[in-house]
Amino acid sequence: QVQLVQSGAEVKKPGASLRVSCKAAGYTFNNFYIQWVRQAPGRGLEWMGLINPSGGSTDYARKFQGRLIMTRDTSTSTAYMELSSLKSEDTAVYYCATRYGGRSDYWGQGTLVTVSS
Amino acid sequence: EIVLTQSPGTLSLSPGERATLSCRASQSVSRSFLAWYQQKPGQAPRLLIHGASSRATGTPDRFSGSGSGTDFTLTISRLEPEDFAVYYCQQFGSSRTAFGQGTKVEIK
């Protein structure tokens, strides 16, 4: 069955960088885009961007331009999300999810990131 | 960028009642690219509806989606105890994707 397994919780200091991984299993990695979504405590879902595993093209939300990089490693079927210059407002649960057309059927379990001095 | 506005923010209803949730877009959205999700505390979102009105695998038939253009609706015909949750719409447009801010369906 399709699974997305994310890396574990992280605690970061302001100004640091973050890297979250999302390992895909149960399907051909190149078949679905991977999108990243975050959710601050008690808040709604916020779309961050997506990557096409086939070729590696990306599309980022304007809000994160300049400090967000998405990459993938097709040899291990893993997508990565790197966010730099962290602020306390970046404290959130980060999710990866597949995207096929106009739907996201499969989601990772979420990675809690806490930014605190 | 397209902005999605969901209403109401909170819906207080009793089990067995009908729930009607609205998602309004700032510009026209293709039906093919409008989805609805359910999220319960501590869980990842779950896809309920895609293509504005197609139920995802495993979605009970008490959930239905409708709408076109800028106005979309998620209807839960008779609320079951497990349906009390937060619901989000999402559009996958050419100008980047976006989520609505969510509607919480709570027990009255």
Q: Does A83 touch chain B (CB under 8 A)?
A: no
Cβ separation A44–B102 shorter than 8 A: yes
Using CA atoms, how far apart are residues B5 and B98, in angstroms rounded to an integer? 10
- Taking chain B (108 residues) in runs of 10, the rounded mean pLDDT of each run is 94 98 95 96 97 97 97 98 98 81 97
Residue A103 to residue B47, Cβ atoms within 8 A: yes
List the single residue in B with minimal CA-CA distance to A103: B50
**pLDDT at position A23 over 80:** yes
What whole-number distance in Å separates Cα of residue A66 and Cα of residue B70?
A: 31
pLDDT level of residue A5 (50, 70, 90 thresholds): very high
Question: Is residue A66's pLDDT more than 70?
Answer: yes
Angle (nearest 5°) at CA B38 between B41 and A45: 75
Q: At CB < 8 Å, which residues of chain B contact A? A: 1, 30, 32-35, 37, 39, 44-47, 50-51, 56-57, 86, 88, 90-92, 96-102
pLDDT of residue B12: 98
Query: What integer pLDDT is reported at residue B93 of this predicted model?
Result: 73
Mean pLDDT on A54-59:
94
Decide: helix, strand or coil at residue A19. strand
Contact A104 B44 (CB under 8 A): no
Contact A2, A98 (CB under 8 A): yes
Structure tokens at A4: 């997305």
Task: Give Cα A57 to chain centroid, integer Å.
Answer: 15
Cβ pair A95, A39 in contact under 8 A? yes
How many Cβ atoms from other residues are within 10 Å of residue B106's Cβ? 11
User: What confidence category does residue A3 fall into, taking pLDDT thresholds of 50, 70 and 90?
Assistant: very high
Tally Cβ neighbours within 10 Å of residue A16: 14
The alpha carbon of residue A33 is apart from the nearest alpha carbon of chain B, in Å, by 12
Q: Which residues of A touch B56 (CB under 8 A)?
A: 103, 105
User: Of all residues in chain A, what percent are helix, strand and coil, respectively (each to 5)?
Assistant: 10, 50, 45
Q: Are B34 and A102 a contacting pair at CB < 8 A?
A: yes
Task: Answer whether A73 touches B (CB < 8 Å).
Answer: no
CA-nearest of B74, B104, B97, B100 to B89 is: B100
Predicted local distance difference test score (pLDDT) of residue B106: 97
The distance from CA B49 to its chain's CA centroid, rounded to whole angstroms, is 8
Whole-number Å distance between alpha carbons of A110 and B41: 12
What mean pLDDT, rounded, does chain A reach? Answer: 96
Task: Please judge whether B51 and A102 are an interchain contact, meaning their C-beta atoms are less than 8 angstroms apart.
Answer: yes
* Interstrand relation of B103-107 and B86-93 (parallel, antiparallel or unpaired): antiparallel
> Which pLDDT score is estimated for A54?
95
